[in-house]
Amino acid sequence: MTDAVGAIVLTGGRGSRLGGADKAGIAVAGRPMLQAVVDAAAAVAGPVVTVGPGGDTCEEPPYSGPVAGIAAGLAALPERVDLVVVVACDLPDLDAVTLSVLVAALGRPAAASTRRPAAALAVDAGGRDQYLLAVWHRPALAARLDALRRSGGLGGRPVRALYDGEVLTRVGVGAPARDVDTWAEVVASGPITLAHVGAVLRAGLAPLPPTALPPLGAIGGVLAAPLVAADPMPRQPVSAMDGYALAGPGPWRLTGPALRAGTSTPGGLISGTAAPIATGALVPAGGDRVLRHELVEVTRDGSGPAVVTALPEATGQDDLRPAGEDWTAGHELTEAGVTLDPALASAALSAGLTSVTVRGPVRATVVTTGDEVMPADSPSPLPPGRIRDTVGPLLVGALGRAGFAGTGPPGHCPDTADAMDSVLFGGAGQPAVHVVVLVGATGRGVADHLRPALERAGATIVLDGVRVRPGGSQLVAALPDGRVLLGLPGNPLAAVSAAATTGRALVDALTGRTRPAVLARVTGLDRLSAPGRARILPARPDGAGGWTLSSRVRTAHLADLAGAPALAVIPEGAGADDLVEIVDWI
């Protein structure tokens, strides 16, 4: 490290290909990319300046591009700096050796030129120039920035413009120049953080197409369009209570037959008359008020008609529901992106809708794996080395809680390549299934045939491993026939944990569902968290509005989930005051 060398680390991109995520904070192979780059830069440079929102300085205006960011970083470096390392924050494999090679190369003459090179520019393993991995002579960099200011300004300039016309020394550096711009590239670098699972699945999977379904058949789906009423509610004036329909001022002479729900209104009422009316019955023409039985007195004088008189407590009361009281035709009951639950399906029927447009419901089938696994109802004694299926039947409820629908009894796949191929190639006969939930075979052991079968099937692996315990060995793949494979770990607690978290995120990705997280504070969180991975722990209500967490669990069974209706998601390296997400699993 020398004070004559300074470094500018650019962090200010919008991360558009990462769905707007903060690229600098994304961990690759367990380490935030910005930290990896800053550590490499600090090993060869004295001052290191990070540029971008939240950094040591920021381009003006924010997000105005890398050239403006480099100018802001250069202004922040002390005058003693002669050589300037320019590097983006998305190079997770960058190391000090690579930067040292670039610094040393700047002292050599550029090829085919007698002029002093302005910069040493890295070339990646594919032979491409990496404009955001270079070392500049400070005067040359300052001069180039000044020229660009005079010729139209720095904002929005492509970074290549900084190098046009300059004499460069190109240095092949290979793998350390690899940049990470997409979630697929993050996944290719190893297990991802649990917090990024949703973004990875949204980027890697196509959402289900919108489908028009009857409201009751669409429960569990997510609205792909706003829910707009076809009819007003109620459609005509009706009575809200059993009582009397009244016309004009009282007292009222009782006349006509009783008005019942479900029949058309016979005739009408003239002023000063009343008719008995049932809840939900149409109010006859001329009726302008309804009073329930307990708000009136009915008297009869001789052989004349009965007389209905309002009691004093009826003042200001009216049990007539006018047409459109709850909503009018064309009223938006709810926006797109909302899950159609039973109550909303009922409201859709009340609004006169015979179909709604939804993505989903997401239908799944569960398949357990392992030659050692026997049906759950197998009688004792079991053969040596065999176990009952203690998780497959339970996953039906856990997946339902995560948002899946139509999950039937689990099937089973023996530990053979042919059997695994049958699971992956069997979609033609299951057009109604969107997701195959596979329990086990996600590792790389001698009996795990999943990955070779995915390759034979031409599947695309979207997610392969998550930095979480339990449940890290999980996998999501897009199958060529349009189905999605959700591979869960074989251990029961790990399988439930992954189904409740990644399974939920998978439904979100396929349907466009958005869910606010349920967050809570947990005492002693700093003692429960682990560096480099998230933890999922059983959570039990403590009776005082909080949660009690199990600090140690065994994954080979579900005994530690007894009495725990939820799971607490502990972020990796969480501090004592951080919030944790509470996820219902059953």
CB atoms within 10 A of CB 299: 10
Distances (CA, A) of 142 to 19, 108, 540: 34, 20, 61
Q: Hey, what are 513's tokens?
A: 């569902």
Which residue type is seen at 222?
A: V
**Using an 8 Å Cβ cutoff, are 123 and 129 in contact?**
yes
For 238-321, CATH number? 2.170.190.11
**279: phi then psi, degrees, rounded to nearest 5:** -55, 130
Spatial distance between the Cα atoms of 151 and 142, rounded to a whole number of angstroms: 14
Q: Hey, what are 240's tokens?
A: 């809200």
Helix (H, G, I), strand (E, B) or coil at 408: coil
For 211-231+327-359, CATH number? 3.90.105.10
Beta bridge partners of 458: none
Spatial distance between the Cα atoms of 530 and 5, rounded to a whole number of angstroms: 36
**Cα dihedral 350, 352, 357, 363 in deg (nearest 10):** 50
Spatial distance between the Cα atoms of 34 and 38, rounded to a whole number of angstroms: 6
Helix (H, G, I), strand (E, B) or coil at 188: helix
Determine the Cα angle at 531 with ends 527 and 534, to 5°: 85
Beta bridge partners of 467: 193
Beta bridge partners of 463: 476
**Strand ranges for 63-163 from DSSP E:** 83-88, 119-124, 129-137
Q: Model-level pTM?
A: 0.84
**Using an 8 Å Cβ cutoff, are 369 and 415 in contact?**
yes
For residue 404, the surrounding DSSP H or E stretch is strand 404-405
Spatial distance between the Cα atoms of 223 and 336, rounded to a whole number of angstroms: 5
Spatial distance between the Cα atoms of 23 and 40, rounded to a whole number of angstroms: 17
Which pLDDT score, from 0 to 100, does residue 114 have?
Answer: 55
Helix (H, G, I), strand (E, B) or coil at 248: coil
Distances (CA, A) of 583 to 199, 522, 546: 18, 14, 14
- Contacts of residue 429, defined as CB under 8 A and 6 or more positions apart, other chains included, come to none
Task: Identify the CA nearest to 532 among candidates 101, 35, 14.
Answer: 35
**Using an 8 Å Cβ cutoff, are 48 and 37 in contact?**
no
For residue 72, the surrounding DSSP H or E stretch is helix 66-76
Spatial distance between the Cα atoms of 489 and 487, rounded to a whole number of angstroms: 7
For residue 199, the surrounding DSSP H or E stretch is helix 197-204
Helix (H, G, I), strand (E, B) or coil at 501: helix
Q: Hey, what are 267's tokens?
A: 């005739």
Which residue type is seen at 111?
A: A
Q: Provide the greatest CA pair distance for the chain.
A: 126
Helix (H, G, I), strand (E, B) or coil at 205: coil
**Using an 8 Å Cβ cutoff, are 274 and 287 in contact?**
no
CB atoms within 10 A of CB 317: 13
* CATH 2.40.50.100 given to domain 5-181: no
Spatial distance between the Cα atoms of 52 and 24, rounded to a whole number of angstroms: 10
Q: In tens digits, what is the pLDDT along the chain, a chain of 586 residues?
A: 577 999 999 996 766 667 777 787 888 877 889 999 999 999 999 999 999 988 999 998 888 899 999 999 999 999 999 999 999 999 999 999 999 999 999 875 545 455 689 999 999 999 999 999 999 999 999 999 999 999 989 988 899 999 988 889 999 999 999 988 888 988 988 899 999 999 999 999 999 999 999 999 999 999 999 999 999 999 999 999 999 999 999 999 998 788 999 887 667 899 999 999 999 999 999 999 999 999 999 998 777 889 999 999 999 999 999 999 999 999 999 999 999 999 999 999 999 999 999 999 999 999 999 888 888 889 999 999 998 988 888 898 999 999 998 777 888 999 899 999 988 887 555 558 999 999 998 888 777 889 999 999 999 999 999 999 999 999 999 999 999 999 999 999 999 999 999 999 999 999 999 888 999 988 888 888 888 899 999 999 988 888 988 877 888 888 899 999 999 999 988 888 889 999 999 8
Q: Where are the domains of the chain?
A: 5-181, 188-206+362-586, 211-231+327-359, 238-321
Helix (H, G, I), strand (E, B) or coil at 52: coil
Task: Identify the CA nearest to 169 among candidates 128, 125, 126, 112.
Answer: 112
CATH class of 188-206+362-586: alpha beta
**Using an 8 Å Cβ cutoff, are 244 and 213 in contact?**
no
Spatial distance between the Cα atoms of 53 and 11, rounded to a whole number of angstroms: 8
211-217 contact pairs (CB < 8 A, 24+)? 211/357, 211/358, 211/359, 212/355, 212/356, 212/357, 213/355, 213/356, 213/358, 214/354, 214/355, 214/356, 215/340, 215/345, 215/346, 215/348, 215/349, 215/353, 215/354, 215/355, 215/356, 216/345, 216/349
